[in-house]
Amino acid sequence: MVKNESGGLRDYLRTKDFKYTITAVLLFLGIFLLSVFLWLRIYTHHGQELDLPDYTGFQYEDALKDATRKKFRMSISDSLHILGKPGGQILKQNPSPHSLVKQKRMIYVTITKRSPDKILSGRLPEMYGKNYQRKRRELDEHFQIRSNVIEKRYDPAEEGQILEVQYKGQTIMDSKGRNNDVQIEKGDVLDFIISEKSGGLVEIPNLICKTYDEAQFLLENLGLTVGDVLKEGDVTDLSSSYIIAQDPVADGGTIKMESGIQLTVTQNKPETCN
């Protein structure tokens, strides 16, 4: 009985039906395993974390193209004007470079502005009569505006004070007041005229008939000096000698401060002097 059953099983294993059944089962298992493998691969790739490129320093348009190609998204979150940098350049990004992120992640970037911010002159601090060096630092630190001295002009007040402020040839502050409606670009330059105690012009004094000491005292008070001294006759005491000629002459003209005036002296008071 057992022998017959064993023989029948062997006969069945040799039949075409059994071979077809085994082939079908193996084919089904192969397709099933392949499907599972492909599904796992797709699922794993979908959740894969990628290394985020460093886009700082790139132009926004170029970075956007690269990010799109790598299945990222990009958006501008802020823009700043920075002197010396071209517009549209990426300054920083979030997430930070080389972060591990998934595809379609949004990258927020800060870029440089293509045109500088503008400031109304009315927002600037009062500068007329103020110390130039202090205002220069204030403009640079708080307004990103540079300063340039275009002229130094004599003024009896303290040296280095601001006498006039100009922007592109237009006066925005001076002794007459201020213009509050001028638009100034950040990073641009204001021109200054500042005070100095030397170099001013004074009227040429009339020194004729004064003693040498009197003339010297007057010249010192005017910011002038005694130039060459020419002696006429026997001059025994220079301090008490009298001025009989000068160069330049006192004809209503002016002379630059610290200049010297040439004097011609004689010992005795001329008859023409009262």
Residue 193 tokens, joined? 């005229």
CA–CA distance, 270 with 91 (Å, rounded to integer): 83
The CATH architecture of the domain made up of 118-196 is: 2-Layer Sandwich (3.30)
- The model's pLDDT over 57-71, given as tens digits with 9 standing for 90+, comes to 999 999 999 999 999
The average pLDDT across 71-90 equals 87
The average pLDDT across 204-223 equals 94
CATH of 49-112, one of 3.40.50.1260, 3.40.630.10, 3.40.30.10, 3.30.10.20: 3.30.10.20
**DSSP state string for the chain:** -HHHHHHHHHHHHTSHHHHHHHHHHHHHHHHHHHHHHHHHHHHHHHT-EEEPP--TTSBHHHHHHHHHHTT-EEEEEEEE--TTS-TTBEEEEESPTT-EEETT-EEEEEEE-SS--EEEGGGSPP-TTSBHHHHHHHHHHHH--EEEEEEEEE-SS-TTBEEEEEETTEEEEETTEE----EEETT-EEEEEEEESSS-EEEPP--TT-BHHHHHHHHHHTT-EEEEEEEES--S-GGG-EEEEEES--SS-EEETT-EEEEEEESSPPTT--
The pTM score is 0.48
| Beta strand pairing call for 73-80 and 106-112 | parallel
Residue 1 is predicted with a pLDDT of 47
Q: How crowded is the C-beta side of 65, counted as CA atoms within 13 Å?
A: 4
Whether residue 18 has pLDDT greater than 80: no
- Within its chain, how far is the Cα of 231 from the centroid? 61
The average pLDDT across 141-154 equals 91
Residue 235 tokens, joined? 């001059």
Ranking 81-90, 156-165, 209-218, 224-233 by mean pLDDT, the lowest is 81-90
Whether residue 188 has pLDDT greater than 80: yes
Q: Which residue has the tokens 């006066």?
A: 171
User: Residue type for 69, please?
Assistant: R
Ranking 19-28, 35-44, 85-94, 250-259 by mean pLDDT, the lowest is 35-44
The average pLDDT across 226-233 equals 95
Sign, CA dihedral 244-245-251-254, equals negative
Fold of 201-266: Trypsin Inhibitor V; Chain A (3.30.10)
Residue 156 is predicted with a pLDDT of 76
Residue 81 is predicted with a pLDDT of 77
- The model's pLDDT over 159-180, given as tens digits with 9 standing for 90+, comes to 899 999 999 999 999 999 999 9
